[in-house]
Amino acid sequence: MIKLPLFRNRLQNIFDCFGKSIIMDEAFSKGKILVNINDIARLAGVSKATISRVLSRSPHVNESTRKRIQKIIDDNGFEPSHLARNLSRRKSQTIGIVIEDIANPFFISISSEIEKILYEKKYNMMISSSQWNRDKELEIVQSMIRSSVDGFIIAPISPDSEAVALLKRTGRPFILMNTFSEDPDVNYVSTDDIEGGKLAARHMYSRLRKDEKIILVTGYEHQNLSRRMEGFFLYMESKGIERDQITHYRNINTYNDGLAIVPTILMRSKLKSNKASIFITSDDIAMALQEGLLQNGRTLPEDIRIIGYDNIEFSRRCRIPLTTVEQSQKDIGIIAAMELLELINNPLKEVKQYLLPPRLILRDSNP
Amino acid sequence: MIKLPLFRNRLQNIFDCFGKSIIMDEAFSKGKILVNINDIARLAGVSKATISRVLSRSPHVNESTRKRIQKIIDDNGFEPSHLARNLSRRKSQTIGIVIEDIANPFFISISSEIEKILYEKKYNMMISSSQWNRDKELEIVQSMIRSSVDGFIIAPISPDSEAVALLKRTGRPFILMNTFSEDPDVNYVSTDDIEGGKLAARHMYSRLRKDEKIILVTGYEHQNLSRRMEGFFLYMESKGIERDQITHYRNINTYNDGLAIVPTILMRSKLKSNKASIFITSDDIAMALQEGLLQNGRTLPEDIRIIGYDNIEFSRRCRIPLTTVEQSQKDIGIIAAMELLELINNPLKEVKQYLLPPRLILRDSNP
DNA sequence: TTGAAAGCGTTACCAG
DNA sequence: CTGGTAACGCTTTCAA
């Protein structure tokens, strides 16, 4: 019977051996497979401090011994443990991304921009979605803290959600994304959604026909949406169209919600006979409405004109390419990543608050 | 001048203090902010072993002291470091996902299925894309090894890419996804692509009109694609249509490639006057072709009929909803995750090789 | 039920 | 340029 201080672990180590070709006979004879810095040190006949130096490309190591050691490292397929390294260095080289929905094309393109930059700067990313649930959002942030992420990019459910408060309170580096904050100490990058709402309204108004219905469709009660709505209403008011003349369908959150509301809209707004212009505060839902209306035999854009919001990749590829208000996912991603990296390296850097300008994109759905 | 053994780290720790509300005065007076297991132990007047026990819900701890300690933990917002925990436990509760393109809707839906299961089982996931580059694929796997992931789900560029070989050689748990392997020791979950190609061919053949051109459009040379092509050709041959009667456009990899090839197809296959049926081995590219053909004034599906492959979420929402061969992203994701988790917990478990049946989905593009 | 102490695999300080 | 060694923050064994 083998008797070792940490027997269980050793056993696991031995288990791991199945299917491996063994390079380090010496280590193997001791029932050990995974190579670590000590093994390499012993093999090279130097101290592990030296190995550590070649691992981190320190200049303070003789060129010839560096080469010799590097060869031993390569030959044995030694991969230094980031766990140990990070524990020792007190940083993990990973940053946490918290978004609302990982399947949302809008966030996907932002994330992929972020990833490019982080990859370049040798950072990893950890990504998780809150599903518009405040508890889950908090849980995610806590879990990321346990994982020792170096900083956060978070699209919070609200700028004063508990998760954000926790980040603030514990002084961890973070950037708010797609949300703006009244707090002058908080870094954020967002789009000027009031302006965005106005852009949509102005275009819609310029194309408005006689007796045409104006319809507004919105999703989750979120700061962004309120601002888009607000801008929309403000412009319309400036043209003498009051809020009660605009039919408002709320809480249409998913593609399927969008499909499901179509019969109601058709009936309530009497769209069988009337023409209409619809502003929908997200492209994803806009596509659902479009689909539903087409299925119900309406012709677009002749009968019903649609304006969306976001300009996701797919907006130009859907049934009737969407006229929409663009938020540049590329810019948001790049700025968020760059700012966070700076913030991590210099916690005293000045606060930056970006409110990016939206842009109207004309396509067939409301030409 | 402060003199401490690890001065730089302490300094960083002090830096971190800005903007924090301080709970632990004692620790603070020592220039220390981040609470750790020792602080809690000291505060509770017990050893850190006991703290560790309440953290891991060990039954061997007095109920009253457990409660007392838990309160101290909560009050101080102590989040145990997973870095340290994982280093000590020799596992990370993280699994690595390696795919070819993170922006590909097909992989996105698979990943989100995987995430659901992992979340439930308290695992984290780390995801990265190889961009069809073998070197990058290997790099990613190495980096994940350094991050001590417990296992891999990999959609490899080829079943015998270096990355897979490395995984095999070092005996790490992994599941191949979207690829099958001749090696009887390798776990995989994939779709029967030969059958898929046949399904497409059978449907196309059944709708074929007189003098209609048959066109095949394929992307990256990948095992999957070859098999889809193979199935397609086999069925056609069984009906007396030889390979040289089928025009084949290769290496169409991205949406933009798809748009770009349209003029060539129109010209080379004389589609201005001829009718045609096209099989494209991915929905994403199928949508691009569709778009390009529409822009060139062809009417679909009257002039040209299209069959895609994958059945991604968007296939039913694009310009002309796509007839396509479905690979169930949900099934693939669920099976891959479950199998890997089992494999991690029991390295000796029997090998499972899944070849899931594809399914033809009829929509407007080739009704 | 508890505590002491030996790990886990690195890094970084100090001395030589 | 190199080595010895404390430290990082936990878990696990063993003994009490």
Instruction: Write the pLDDT tens digit of every residue in B248-279.
Output: 999 998 888 999 999 999 998 887 788 999 99
Mapped onto helix, strand or coil, the DSSP state of residue A79 is coil
pLDDT value at residue B177:
96
Contact call for B171 and A108, based on CB within 8 A: no
Q: Which of residues 24-63 of A touch strand D (CB under 7 A)?
A: 45-50, 53, 59-63
The stretch B20-39 carries a mean pLDDT of: 54
B329 near A CB under 8 A: no
Mapped onto helix, strand or coil, the DSSP state of residue A175 is strand
Question: Edge to edge, what strands does the sheet with A213-217 contain?
Answer: A246-249, A213-217, A276-280, A304-310, A323-326, A359-361
Protein residue nearest nucleotide C11, by CA to C1': A88
Q: How confident is the model at residue B16 (pLDDT cuts 50, 70, 90)?
A: very low
Examine the pLDDT at B348 and tell me if it is beyond 90: no
Range from A29-33, B9-13, B33-37 carrying the lowest mean pLDDT:
B9-13
Q: Which of residues 86-145 of B touch strand D (CB under 7 A)?
A: 87-89
Q: Is the CB of B147 under 7 A from strand D?
A: no
Question: How many Cα atoms are found within 13 Å in the side-chain-facing hemisphere of B316?
Answer: 12
Question: Edge to edge, what strands does the sheet with B359-361 contain?
Answer: B246-249, B213-217, B276-280, B304-310, B323-326, B359-361
Q: Is the CB of A260 under 7 A from strand D?
A: no
C-alpha torsion B25→B31→B35→B41, nearest 10: -70
Q: Which of A 74-93 lie inside 8 A of B, CB atoms? A: 77, 79-84, 86-87, 90, 92
Measured between CA atoms, the residue of chain A closest to residue B167 is A20
C-alpha torsion B118→B121→B126→B132, nearest 10: -40
Contact call for A77 and B19, based on CB within 8 A: no
Q: What is the nearest nucleotide to A63, using C1' and CA?
A: D1
**Integer CA distances (angstroms), B240 to A256, B113, B205, B237, in order:** 44, 42, 11, 5
Domains of chain A and any CATH numbers: 1-90 (1.10.260.40), 193-328 (3.40.50.2300)
Please state, in angstroms and rounded to a whole number, the distance separating the CA atoms of residues B288 and B219: 13
Protein residue nearest nucleotide C14, by CA to C1': B5
The stretch B173-184 carries a mean pLDDT of: 94
Percent of chain B with pLDDT over 70: 91
Handedness of CA B279, B283, B289, B290 (dihedral sign): positive
Contact call for B83 and A79, based on CB within 8 A: no
Q: What is the nearest nucleotide to B40, using C1' and CA?
A: D9
Non-local CB neighbours of A49 within 8 Å, separated by 6+ positions: none
Please state, in angstroms and rounded to a whole number, the distance separating the CA atoms of residues B130 and B139: 9
Of B82, B87, B170, the CB nearest to A146: B82
Protein residue nearest nucleotide D9, by CA to C1': B84
Q: Read off the amino acid at residue A155.
A: A
Contact call for B169 and A21, based on CB within 8 A: yes
Q: Chain C positions under 7 Å from a protein CB? A: 1-14
- For B124 and D4, how far is CA from C1' in angstroms? 38
Q: How confident is the model at residue B229 (pLDDT cuts 50, 70, 90)?
A: very high
C-alpha torsion B45→B49→B54→B60, nearest 10: -110
- For B44 and C3, how far is CA from C1' in angstroms? 14
| Exposure b/e, A95-118, CB count within 10 A at least 16 = b | bbbbbbbbebbbbbbbbbbbbebb
Examine the pLDDT at B215 and tell me if it is beyond 90: yes
Q: What is the nearest nucleotide to B62, using C1' and CA?
A: C1
| pLDDT < 50: residue spans in chain A | 1-32
* Phi, psi (degrees; rounded to nearest 5) at A238: -65, -15
Q: Rounded to a whole number, what is the distance in Å from the CA of A193 to chain B's nearest CA?
A: 26
pLDDT value at residue B41:
94
Please state, in angstroms and rounded to a whole number, the distance separating the CA atoms of residues A209 and B107: 44
Chain A contact probe: residue of B170, B186, B291 with most A CBs at under 10 A: B170
pLDDT value at residue B20:
30
pLDDT value at residue A33:
60
pLDDT value at residue B9:
32
Q: Rounded to a whole number, what is the distance in Å from the CA of A123 to chain B's nearest CA?
A: 11
* Whether the Cβ atoms of residue B92 and residue B147 lie closer than 8 Å to each other: yes
Instruction: Give A-chain residues touching B87 at CB under 8 angstroms.
Output: 81, 83-84, 87
B9 near A CB under 8 A: yes
Of B79, B90, B108, the CB nearest to A12: B90
pLDDT value at residue B150:
94
Which residues are paired to A52 by β-bridges?
Answer: none
Contact call for B102 and A92, based on CB within 8 A: no
Measured between CA atoms, the residue of chain A closest to residue B104 is A108
The stretch B33-59 carries a mean pLDDT of: 91
The stretch B40-45 carries a mean pLDDT of: 93
Q: Which two tokens stand for residue A264?
A: 């109601």
Please state, in angstroms and rounded to a whole number, the distance separating the CA atoms of residues A128 and A137: 9
How many Cβ pairs closer than 8 A exist between chain A and B? 112
pLDDT value at residue B33:
61
Q: Chain D positions under 7 Å from a protein CB? A: 1-14
Contact call for B103 and A80, based on CB within 8 A: no
The stretch B39-67 carries a mean pLDDT of: 93
pLDDT value at residue A179:
93
